[in-house]
Structures are given as structure tokens and as C-alpha cells.
Amino acid sequence: MVLLSAYAVAFSFSPRSVARSDRSCYNFRVFPDRASQLPMTSRPIYLDAHATTPTDDRVVEAMLPYFSQQFGNPASITHQYGWEAEAAVKKAREAIASAINASPEEIIFTSGATEANNLAIKGIAEAYFSQGRHIVTVATEHNAVLDPIAYLESLGFETTILPVNADGLLDLDKLESALRSDTILVSVMAANNEIGVLQPMAEIGSMCRDRGVFFHTDAAQAIGKIPINVETQNIDLMSLTAHKIYGPKGIGALYVRRRQPRVRPAAQIHGGGHERGLRSGTLYPPQIVGFAKAVELGISQMETEGDRLQSLRDRLWQQLSQLDGVQLNGHPTQRLPGNLNVSFSGVDGQALLLGIQPVVAVSSGSACTSAKIEPSHVLAALGLSEERAYASIRFGIGRFNTTEEIDVVARETIATVKSLRRAKS
């Protein structure tokens, strides 16, 4: 415990005071290059919260004891080291379950949302193919949903990829008519990672439940930001990840419903039979504890933080929309509070991104896949031309952004757009 509080003290030091401190002290060697991780004024303002988020200091603090102190393997049942780790994992599992109104046995830890999506989609396909081989999803899903489904198609499954309206919302009538007697799974994300659009979970859930089809949702961007309730929303499987909500990278979970109906996907990783046989591999207590802490923090301040992010988002949009030829992508209100996705007409997207790069870290409406730049499949699904998709920027506002930063970003973006347009004319 003495060591523990020393860790906390070490964290509150500025990098300079750490450097001046007694370097022989063990605690300061835990993170020898911590200084390089601290925000520096010369680095661009981070506005890419949908890609990842910094780990909250409170999360890091909660994780620390489980690296070198309570380092046991939660599966070791014969000694105290194992019991301590097991107790920490149990507590974390309970916290995550209660945040989504699930029970602890329904939480299967994975390495993140990509793995959770793979377990849900391939696992259901493998376990239930005798009941049907048809899977339904949406064009704006993350690749971690679309690619496993494409893989299943290559194995002989049939898939329906539903279009979305121009605002990014799924048309429920289209979903209803896509459901067939041999449909085994519907996968629709809760919140989109590019345009922030929130799909109607409860309506989709009740439709799937009525038709006896499993409903999976990728909630990587939603957990801790908008209310999620697996009971009222009739969710059967749900993918989660910690690093989009100020938790560590490399940890996530799949919620798997146990009752009414019982859902039993086939394991995709076999080994020691951990996680009810659904995901073998030694559990990673520091990451699991950090994940739970991140979820708890997100839930406890969801409303106030949501309001704050939304007002920053609206402030940014108010300023950017003074420019001619700007367009908001995605539904204006049915979206994550910190998300703003904007197209700037008459500018080259790459030039715009390059121009603002020294000041602001954002993503563009394109993705680099195997060194080739492609327009975003999400913006294409909204009906945007390739040119407009390229000239789009995703602003992801997060917990540590300030009003001052938003104003700097708005000024810089406006100035860059204006100068690019001038150079063109």
C-alpha cells in the first residue's frame, strides 16, 4: 500500500520535478519516459476521440497495483496471488455488467471490440448455421463487422447489407423487409465512429426479438457516452472496448445474453477454457480493472460531460458554418455529443488536412487501406460524392478538450479553407 500511494504521488509531479527527483527511487522508474507522454504545447490539439482517447489518470492509478503487486493469474486457485487477481476481475466484471444492466456471467473479456465483433458474428454463424445462413447488417458499420461478415459470405453465408438514409439513420421498414425465415443474426452499431449517428437500438431490438433473430450491436463508441440497457433494448450480443472511453487499449468485452433467449456463440479462440469456454487465454487484470474504471467514470459523468461536449461541438459548428460551402454529415441531433463531421466544398481534402495538421490532430473522410487512400465507405453510404468525401473532416471532441482549443481549431480550419480556396481561384 505504501508503494501504491507513492505511485500516485509520482503521477502528480510535473515532468521536470520527476527528472530532478532521486532517480534511484524505484517508483520513478516505472514509467521512465512518462514525461514524453505528457501534453506539450508544441503538439497539435487532439481532436480525434473516435480513433482513441488518452487513458484517464484515474484509470491508470486503478491499474497500477495489478502490474507488479497483485500480479497473480486469476485462474490460479491454490494461492493468495491468484485470489487477489480473481477478486479484482470479479469486481470489474460486476461493474461493467451493471453499467449495461447485464449480469456478470454475461461479460466475456476480449482484446477489444474487433475481437468481440469476430466472436459474436463468426461465433453465431458457426453455432447456428443449421437454423439459417442469412445475416443482416448496415453499410455504415465498422470494418470489424463488415469484414467478418464478408468472410462468412466467402464460406457460403448469405448477407444483406442495408443502405442508410442521407442522414445516416437506418430505415426500420427496410430492416423489417430484409428479415427472412433463415435470418440468424442482425448486426447494427449503436453509435457510428465517423459520423456519430445513433441508431434506434430499442426499435431494432424489439423487431429482432419478435422475429426470433439474434441482435448484435457494436457499441464501441456508445458505452459510457449514451445510455445502453441490454434488457430494455433487447440486445443479445454487444461488443465493447475500453480505449474509446479513456481506458487502456487492448481490452474489451462481448456481452452474451444468457437467458431469454440463451445465446451460445462458438468460441473462436480455444485453449484453457477461460471465460466460460468462449475465450481462452490468461486474463489481464490491469487492463480489466482499467476498463471497469473507465466505464464507471463514463457512466457517472455521462450527462454533465455529454452536455459539455455537445456545447463544444455546437460552438465549433457555429464557427465553421460561417464559411460558405460547408455541410454537416450525419443526422444533426441523433449523434454522439462530441462528434462533428464536416465537408468543405472547393478544397482538396488532403491539402486541407495537411494545412491544419500542425495545429489539430483529426481524421479525414478517407481511410488508408494497404497504402491506398480510399474515400470513407460511411460517407459514400450517405450518398456523398468521392470528392466531397475526401474533403471531409471528422472532429472528435473528448474529455480533455477545452473551449479555448475549440476556438483555435475553428480559426485554423477557417483560415486554411479560405487560403486553399483563394489559391484555387
Ligand X SMILES: *Cc1c(COP(=O)(O)O)cnc(C)c1O
Least Å from the CB of residue 284 to ligand X? 14
Instruction: Give the containing element (helix H, strand E) for 217.
Output: strand 214-218
Least Å from the CB of residue 243 to ligand X? 6
The residue among 252 and 375 lying less far from ligand X, judged by its C-beta, is: 252
Least Å from the CB of residue 174 to ligand X? 21
Q: Which residue type occupies 173?
A: D
The residue among 193 and 413 lying less far from ligand X, judged by its C-beta, is: 193
- Torsion sign across C-alpha atoms 268, 274, 280, 281: positive
Residues 288-304: b if buried by 16+ CB within 10 A, e if exposed: bbbbbbbbbbbbeebee
Residue 135 contacts residue 157 (beta carbons within 8 Å): yes
Residue 215 contacts residue 204 (beta carbons within 8 Å): yes
| Greatest distance between any 2 Cα atoms in the chain | 75
Burial class (CB in 10 A: 0-12, 13-18, 19+), 30: middle
Least Å from the CB of residue 86 to ligand X? 24
Least Å from the CB of residue 138 to ligand X? 12
Question: Which residues lie near ligand X (CB under 6 A)?
Answer: 112-114, 142, 144, 189, 193, 218, 220-221, 241, 244, 252
Which DSSP state fits 168? S
Residue nearest to ligand X (CB): 112
In 117-200 the beta strands, taken as DSSP E runs, fall at 134-138, 158-162, 183-187
The residue among 220 and 356 lying less far from ligand X, judged by its C-beta, is: 220
Which DSSP state fits 391? T
Torsion of CA 111, 117, 119, 120, to 10 degrees: 140
Least Å from the CB of residue 72 to ligand X? 25
Least Å from the CB of residue 142 to ligand X? 4
Burial class (CB in 10 A: 0-12, 13-18, 19+), 378: buried
Q: Which residue type occupies 346?
A: G
What contacts 216, CB < 8 A, 6 or more positions away? 117, 120, 121, 124, 185, 186, 187, 188, 235, 236, 237, 238, 239
Residue 314 contacts residue 328 (beta carbons within 8 Å): no
User: Of these residues, 40, 77, 368, 371, which one is catalytic?
Assistant: 368
The residue among 86 and 141 lying less far from ligand X, judged by its C-beta, is: 141
Residue in this structure with the C-alpha cell 459520423, named with its chain if needed: 195
The residue among 359 and 378 lying less far from ligand X, judged by its C-beta, is: 378
The residue among 256 and 378 lying less far from ligand X, judged by its C-beta, is: 378
Q: Is 368 a catalytic residue?
A: yes
The residue among 28 and 46 lying less far from ligand X, judged by its C-beta, is: 46
Least Å from the CB of residue 137 to ligand X? 12
Residue in this structure with the C-alpha cell 501504491, named with its chain if needed: 4
What contacts 222, CB < 8 A, 6 or more positions away? 189, 190, 191, 198, 228, 336
**What span, in angstroms and rounded, lies between the C-alpha atoms of 395 and 331?**
15
The residue among 114 and 413 lying less far from ligand X, judged by its C-beta, is: 114
Residues with catalytic roles = 368
